[in-house]
C-alpha cells in the first residue's frame, strides 16, 4: 500500500547528474529549499505513457504553473542521468528539470519504490505527483494500486486544478507553417498579440503537405486549428479572433 506523506519533509538524497562533460551532485535541499516545487514521478524514461502523456503535459503547462507560484517542475525516475538527459532531449522538454534517481533512494524514501521484475525493469517508482513547499509535502496524488500502469490522478491537469482551481486553460492551438511565409508570420503575430500560446508545425520539418491536406483539406499555409476546430488561414484567424 502506497501511503501519502503529506505534511512530512521530503527524503534527504544526493542525485548524481551529468551536465555537459561534468559530474554535478545535486541535493534535495538545493532543489526544494525556499521553493514551491511540483514533482511527478514515473516508472521509466522513454516508456509509452510517460512519453506520450505524463511528461508532455507538464512541459506544456509549465508557464501556467509558474503564473501560480510554482518555481520548478521536477520529473523523477529510477534511471541514470545519461538516460534522463537523452529523454529530455528527445522530448524537447526544456521546461522540466529531470532528476535521475538511479539507485532508487528518493523513491524508497518516499515509500514509492515498486517491483517491476515481471517487465524486466527491476525496482522502479510508482506513478505519483506532489506539491512541495520549502521541502515539506503539501499534497500528493498517488495512482491506485491496480494491474498495469494506471495514470488517472498524477497528471498535470489534476495538479493544476488543485493549485489554481479558478484557472481556465485556453484551448489548444496548432499552426501549420512553412519557412519564409509572410502570411504565416502574420497569423503567428496575431496569436501572440492576443496572448495565446500555440504549437507550430513546420512543413518540411515536422510534417509534409500530405499531412496538411489530410487534416485540413488544404495545401496552402498557414492553416490554424483551435480546440480541434479548423479555423483556416491568416484572414480567417483574424476574423475568428475579432
The residues annotated with a catalytic role in the active site are: 50
Please state, as a whole number, how many other Cβ atoms lie within 10 Å of the Cβ of residue 60: 16
Task: Show Cβ contacts of residue 188 under 8 Å, excluding neighbours closer than 6 positions.
Answer: 175, 177, 198, 200, 222
Please state, as a whole number, how many other Cβ atoms lie within 10 Å of the Cβ of residue 26: 16
DSSP states of 24-89: EEEEHHHHHTT-EEEEEEES-TT-HHIIIIIHHHHHHTHHHHHHTT--EEEEEESS-HHHHHHHHH
DSSP states of 203-222: BTTTB-HHHHHHHHS--SS-
User: Residue 108 burial (CB < 10 Å; 0-12/13-18/19+)?
Assistant: middle
* Rounded Cα–Cα distance for residues 108 and 142 (Å): 15
The alpha carbon torsion through 140, 143, 149, 155 (nearest 10 deg) reads -50
Amino acid at each position: 500500500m502506497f501511503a501519502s506523506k503529506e505534511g512530512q519533509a521530503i527524503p534527504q538524497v544526493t542525485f548524481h547528474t551529468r551536465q555537459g562533460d561534468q559530474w554535478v551532485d545535486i541535493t534535495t535541499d538545493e532543489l526544494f529549499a525556499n521553493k514551491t516545487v511540483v514533482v511527478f514521478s514515473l516508472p521509466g524514461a522513454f516508456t509509452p505513457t510517460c512519453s506520450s502523456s505524463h511528461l508532455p503535459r507538464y512541459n506544456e503547462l509549465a508557464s501556467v504553473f509558474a503564473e501560480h507560484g510554482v518555481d520548478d517542475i521536477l520529473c523523477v525516475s529510477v534511471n541514470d542521468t545519461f538516460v534522463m538527459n537523452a529523454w529530455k532531449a528527445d522530448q524537447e522538454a526544456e521546461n522540466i528539470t529531470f532528476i535521475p534517481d538511479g539507485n532508487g533512494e528518493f523513491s524508497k524514501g518516499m515509500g514509492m519504490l515498486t517491483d517491476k521484475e515481471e517487465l524486466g525493469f527491476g525496482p522502479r517508482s510508482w506513478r505519483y505527483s506532489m506539491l512541495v513547499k520549502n521541502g515539506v509535502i503539501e499534497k500528493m496524488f498517488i495512482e491506485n494500486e491496480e494491474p498495469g500502469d494506471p495514470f488517472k490522478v498524477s497528471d498535470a491537469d489534476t495538479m493544476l486544478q488543485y493549485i489554481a482551481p479558478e484557472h481556465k486553460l485556453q484551448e489548444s492551438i496548432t499552426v501549420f507553417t512553412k519557412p519564409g511565409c509572410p502570411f504565416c508570420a502574420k497569423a503567428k503575430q496575431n496569436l501572440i498579440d492576443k496572448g495565446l500560446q500555440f504549437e507550430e508545425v513546420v512543413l518540411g520539418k515536422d510534417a509534409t503537405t500530405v499531412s496538411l491536406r489530410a487534416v485540413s483539406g488544404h495545401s496552402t499555409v498557414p492553416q490554424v486549428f483551435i480546440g480541434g476546430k479548423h479555423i483556416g488561414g491568416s484572414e480567417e484567424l483574424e476574423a475568428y479572433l475579432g
